[in-house]
Amino acid sequence: MKNKEYPKFEKVDDHTIRIIQEVAEEVPLHVIVGNYEKLKKQKQSIIATEKNIETLLESAKKLGITPLDAKNVEPPKSKR
């Protein structure tokens, strides 16, 4: 893979210059396909995790359990 940079310069105003860099990359198609497959698997895992969390929250609501405000959370006391 070769990166070719071609900086370009433009005047924005009397005190500012804009630097534009264009980068070209050659990426084998199998790499893109492999990354796409990994992304699909991660997406499925995230959807499953979201469903699990939603189920947990619904169950907690039915049981009357509510989350504590983060500011009021105290560490558990030791039983020693």
Position 3 pLDDT exceeds 80: no
Using a cut of 0.85, tell me whether the model's pTM lies above it: no
Three-class secondary structure of residue 4 per DSSP: strand
pLDDT tens-digit series, residues 32-52? 999 999 999 999 899 889 888
The one-character DSSP state at 72 is G
Name the average pLDDT for the chain: 81
Backbone angles phi, psi at 5, to 5 degrees: -110, 135
Count the helix, strand and coil residues of the chain and give each as a percent rounded to the nearest 5: 45, 20, 35
pLDDT value of residue 22:
82
